Structure 1
C-alpha cells in the first residue's frame, strides 16, 4: 500500500537539504529571541486575540482557530500562499521559550518532538514527551506546553477537519488507530476529548519522513500538495506501526469508552482503591476525576466503592462461614462501626441478621 510513497524518501531533488533544514530549525528565530528575553510573550499564538472561557478551576481556556493560524501563515509565507489555501494543513515549529496558556483547538493537532524533551499538561495530566515522541490531540482537549529551552524543538502539524477527506482515509485504511481517531475527530456525534501519545522508539524512518516533509514544505520552489500528502501518509504509517508494536504509551478514548476502563479498575480493586490511586492510575487530577465519574455514572466515587464493598460483603455473608470481622477487613473497611452503619442503612438489618435471613 505504501510502496510508492516510500520511494519519495529516496528521491533526489534540489529542495532544501537536511543540513539547511536542521540549521533552520535549531537557529533561534526573531520570535524565539524575543520570547527568550520576555517570558510573557506567547510566540506563535497571540493568545489575547483568541476567545476564552473559564473552566471549573477558574482558568482561562482559549480556543485557537485554524482560520487565524492560516491567515497568519499567509502573511508569514506569502510565497506558498496558493498552496496553503488548497491544503488544510499547516506546519510550523513551536516557538521556544514561548508562554503557552491552556487552550483547545477547532482543528486536530499532531506534535512531533524533533529534539529534546517537551513537558505538557493534557486534560490536567502532565506528560513528558521525549525526542521521537508524537502526540495527536482532538479538538476539545485542554492542554498547554510548559517551559521549553533552546534544545527543545517541537514541530506542530495543524490539520483542519477537511484534511481527513475520503481520499486520505482510504489511503490510510480503515482498521487502524489513526483512521479511527480521524473518523471520530470529524464526527458530530462523538466527544472530542481524545488524544494519543506514540513512542516511536526514535524511528529513523519517521525522522526522515518529517525532515523530507519539512524540506519540501519550507521550499516554495518544490512545494507540492501531492508530495506533502504522500509524506503525511508515510508519517501516519509509521505511527500505525508504532502502535501495533505496542509502543503507543497512552490513548485517551472518548468518554463513553474510557469510563468502562475506570469502572473495571474500580471493580477489580474495590478493597484498596482510593480516589487518589485511581487518579494516578489514569492520569487525572483527583477533583476532575471525581466530577467525571459523577457525570458519567450518576454516582460519586465513594458511592461506587461503598456499593461494591457492601455487595461483596453480602456475597461472603451468604456463601461462607468466615467471621463478620474478617469480611469487614477483606472488603476494605478499617472502621467496624462505619461498616455496620452503612450496611444497616442500605439493607435495613445488621450483617448477622442478613446472614441468618
Structure 2
C-alpha cells in the first residue's frame, strides 16, 4: 500500500477523536435517520456513486443494525470482531466478509491497531458484473438474491483468504483507486471488483456461508437466474414449466420473497439492461427497445420515464 494512503488509514478521524475525548455513544445521525438504526447509503456515499469505502470507527461498540446496501468488511490490519445473529465472528488481517442488506449485526470495539475498511456498495453496482459470472456458484447466488431488496433473509459470506496474495493485491488496488481516483476510475473499479469476485469464486473452499438455505429460497434463486439470463423473452409460463411448479404457486412465492410480481421483476431487469446498453453502446433507442424485449416503444418510453424521471434519449444526452 502507498505510504500516504497507509497514513490516511491509520490516522484518527474526527469521530474517533471525539470518542477518545469522552463521547461514549455512537453518533447515529452520521449513519441513519431511522429509529431502527438501518444505516443509509445516502448518508455515506457521494451522490450518484455506487461504491465507496469508509474506515470503520474504532474505540466504541456499535449496536445492532442493518444496512440498505451491501457491505464488505476487509481487515487491513489487526482484527475485527462482530456478532451476527448471536454468533461471534473474529476476522483476522487479510480476511473479508460480505453482508447483505438484511443481516443484523453488532460490532465489538476495535483497538487503535485494528484498521477495517468498509466497502459500501449499492446493489445496482452488480447489475453488469453478475451478467459476466457463472451463475452456479456461491457468490453469484448471494448477489442474485441481494439484488432484489425485498428479499429479506440475512446472509453473509466469510472469506478466509489472508494467505492469498493475489486477492490481497486486488483489494489494495481497489482501495487505492477509490482514494486516488483517475479519469477511468469507475470503469477500473468495476473491472477490479469483477476480478476480485472471480478470484474469490476460484477459492470457494475458503468461504464460510451463513444463509437461510431452504426450498423456497432455491426457487427464488432459480427465478432470478432465469430472469437475468432470458429477460428479453422470459415468461412466467415457461419458468413454471422449468421449475415444475404451478404458475399461481410460483407467483405467490415470488411476491412473498421479493415484494414484486414476476412482471415487475422482469421489467426491472429489462430497464437495468436498457440503461447498460445506453451507457456502453452506440445502439439507437429503438434498437435497445427491441434488444431488451419490448415491441411497443410508446410503452417502453412510459415505464422508463416513470422509473428514471427522464426519457431514454434525455438519459443518453445527460451522459455526453
TM-score range, shorter chain: 0.5 to 0.7
Q: CA RMSD in A?
A: 2.6
The residue that corresponds to 1:241 in the other structure is 202
1:47 offset after TM fit, Å? Answer: 6.0
1:205 offset after TM fit, Å? Answer: 1.7
Q: Residues 1-357 of structure 1 correspond to what in structure 2 (within 5 A)? A: 18-38=2-22, 40-42=24-26, 46=29, 49-53=32-36, 62-70=37-45, 74=46, 85=48, 87-165=49-127, 167-187=128-148, 190-222=151-183, 224-243=185-204, 246-248=205-207, 250-254=208-212, 256=214
1:214 offset after TM fit, Å? Answer: 1.5
The residue that corresponds to 2:315 in the other structure is none
Unaligned runs of 5+ in 2: 218-320
SS at match of 2:62: coil
**TM-score between the two structures when normalised by the length of structure 1:** 0.56
Would the aligned equivalents of 1:39 and 1:97 in 2 still touch at CA under 8 Å? no
Deviations 1:112-157 (A, max 9, x none): 1111111101111111111111111111111011110011111111
Tell me how far apart the structure 2 counterparts of residues 27 and 238 of structure 1 sit (CA, whole Å).
31
1:207 offset after TM fit, Å? Answer: 1.9
Tell me how far apart the structure 2 counterparts of residues 116 and 68 of structure 1 sit (CA, whole Å).
27
Tell me how far apart the structure 2 counterparts of residues 25 and 210 of structure 1 sit (CA, whole Å).
14
1:202 offset after TM fit, Å? Answer: 3.2
SS at match of 1:118: strand
Tell me how far apart the structure 1 counterparts of residues 117 and 104 of structure 2 sit (CA, whole Å).
19
Unaligned runs of 5+ in 1: 1-16, 54-61, 75-83, 260-357
Tell me how far apart the structure 1 counterparts of residues 133 and 153 of structure 2 sit (CA, whole Å).
21
Tell me how far apart the structure 1 counterparts of residues 167 and 34 of structure 2 sit (CA, whole Å).
35
**TM-score between the two structures when normalised by the length of structure 2:** 0.62
Taking a change above 3 Å as real, the CA distance of residues 49 and 177 of structure 1, as seen in their structure-2 partners, is closer
Of the two, which has the highest radius of gyration?
Answer: 1
Matched residues, number: 218
SS at match of 2:159: strand
Would the aligned equivalents of 2:32 and 2:39 in 1 still touch at CA under 8 Å? no
The residue that corresponds to 2:286 in the other structure is none
1:48 offset after TM fit, Å? Answer: 8.0
1:242 offset after TM fit, Å? Answer: 2.5
